[in-house]
Amino acid sequence: MTKLLSCFKAYDIRGRIPDELNTDIAYRIGRAYAESIQPGSVIVGRDIRLSSDEMAAAVIEGLQDAGVNVYDIGLCGTEEVYYATFAFQDADKPMDGGIMVTASHNPKDYNGMKLVREQSKPVSGDTGLNDIKQLAEANNFAAPVMHRGSVKHISIGADYTKHLLGYINPKALQPLKIVVNAGNGAAGHVIDWLETALKQSMTQAEFIKVHHEPNGHFPHGIPNPLLPENRDSTISAIKAHGADLGIAWDGDFDRCFLFDETGRFIEGYYIVGLLAEAFLKQNPGAKIVHDPRLTWNTIDIVNSLSGIAVQSKTGHAFIKERMRKEDAVYGGEMSAHHYFRDFSYCDSGMIPWLLVIELMSKSGKKLSQLVDERMLRFPASGEINRTIAQPEAAIELVRKHYQQDAQHIDFTDGLSMEFADWRFNLRCSNTEPLVRLNVESRGDEALMQTKTNELLTLLAG
């Protein structure tokens, strides 16, 4: 009888070690990926988790047994697998896919994988992940091929660093003092590469490194700066060193989180607006993709610069697909995922902060000054999660309550309702009995707070 695998999620693979994910399952995923995608060559990388080496070895074994050649880039972040997959060639042959062994910001006893095909196109849900799941569950593979695939260890550091710095003009950077919190070290090596490259270009950036060394025991907590309790070390370092800004990353650093010079955490929503502005100044009339949770600030900035704002369903697979379809130069989600056309439409946790320090340098403004005006014009609640037994019924109740007064109702992702001076988005979690609420207003923080409380009371009822 086929044993169902609970580690397959909507967008990726994640499970507790060893009951939900282990080396046997990892091997089967390697075989299933090879059978489904039919690649000739695949990039493999891994994060700092204690189980990541053995998980990567097992998935590589599965790929080899299917005749796939593996290019192993070692300890890395997810975006390095994306980069290597779309940029690296061997004997002028591009890669056919990539596998990153990571559980991102999950607890330390978890691991997982993020899968892409050629040009780093996502493999998720309907784009192949369900097929791989079924093959891995069936575990009915042919005997290993006669000519097993090879394994080659490669370094992408120099080319990847050059690519990152291609988004900015390093010579335009002013001397800045930057706190960089690598969480438990995953992002540390890339910071070191960038620090060296910036010094060579005579840029006077000073990096204050916090929790910089790789440590899979996670001594500094789960690497998730969205949790307020995980922000203290970044905030303390900013204040102690009088830094110009702080940056913290999640476990596989495909997201970065910014703090201003006072140590204030900046919501990802306002960074989306900043980056949209930066790209539209370089690419007049370009398309910018955004998610439906918080929208007014982004749309206002894009329209003011004669760009075209395009709304997409939340989630990396949807954003990337829409960006390719629209040939959008940039896409951003309020959850701190930022996507770039020149990065094969993938998300990066390194490109955003480089663009922000260039904006600060060129404008002569502090990060607080860059976002304060926008925060006053469009105050937002930030995402509020509530556990509700019947989330769909609760959302329907809210829709009926406000329907008569709504100027616009949208179902792109959950329920979005707009009124003259405020709007909200309410959506179900993909994985838990949760509803996620976001509220914003036009320049009226008291109204935003009132409506937030009103909605929460409705949901509780």
CATH topology match: 268-375 vs 384-460: no
How far apart are alpha carbons 207 and 395 in whole angstroms? 46
Helices (H) and strands (E) in the chain, counts: 14, 23
pLDDT at residue 219 in the model = 93
294 vs 271: CA distance, rounded Å: 12
Question: In angstroms, rounded to a whole number, what is the distance separating the alpha carbons of residues 398 and 424?
Answer: 11
Phi, psi of 153 (to 5 degrees): -90, 125
In whole angstroms, what is the distance from residue 280 CA to residue 298 CA? Answer: 12
In the chain, which stretches have pLDDT less than 70? 1, 430-431
Residue 177 CB-density burial (10 A; 0-12 exposed, 13-18 middle, 19+ buried): middle
3-state secondary structure of 62: helix
Query: Cα torsion for 456, 459, 460, 461, to the nearest 10°?
Result: 120
* Predicted pLDDT of residue 350: 98
Least Cα distance to 411 among 430, 391, 425 occurs for: 425
Q: What is residue 149's DSSP assignment?
A: P
Indicate the CATH number for domain 13-156. Answer: 3.40.120.10
Cis amide linkage into residue 122, ω under 30° from 0: no
Contacts of 446 (CB under 8 A, 6+ apart): none
Please write the tens of the pLDDT for every residue from 209-267: 999 999 999 999 988 998 899 999 999 999 999 999 999 999 999 999 999 999 999 99
Residue whose C-alpha is closest to residue 291's, from 254, 328, 251: 328
Q: How far apart are CA 297 and CA 48, in angstroms?
A: 37
Domain at 384-460: CATH code: 3.30.310.50
What is the rounded distance in angstroms from the CA atom of residue 105 to the CA atom of residue 221? 10
Tokens of 246: 């702080």
In the structure encoding, which two tokens stand for residue 427, read together? 């959506």
Q: What is the pLDDT of residue 126?
A: 83
Contact 216, 52 (CB under 8 A): yes
Determine the CATH number of domain 176-265: 3.40.120.10
Q: What angle do CA 184, 187, 189 make, to 5 degrees?
A: 110
Domain residue extents for the chain: 13-156, 176-265, 268-375, 384-460
**Cβ 437 vs Cβ 459: under 8 Å:** yes
Tell me, yes or no, if 150 is annotated catalytic: no
- Taking the CB of residue 342, how many other CB atoms lie within 10 A of it? 12
Distance in angstroms (rounded) separating the CA atoms of residues 89 and 85:
9
Name the active-site residue from 41, 104, 312, 416: 104
pLDDT of residue 434: 87
CATH 3.40.120.10 fits 268-375, yes or no: yes
Q: Is the four-CA dihedral 11, 14, 19, 22 of positive or negative sign?
A: positive
pLDDT of residue 162: 98
Alpha carbon distance 386, 436 (integer Å): 7
> Helices 157-165 and 351-363, interaxial angle, to 10°?
40
Q: Which two tokens stand for residue 84?
A: 């290597």
What amino acid is encoded at 112 in this protein?
G
Q: What is the pLDDT of residue 431?
A: 63
* Full-model pTM: 0.96
Instruction: Say how many C-beta atoms besides its own lie within 10 A of residue 173's C-beta.
Output: 20
| Rounded Cα–Cα distance for residues 350 and 253 (Å) | 8
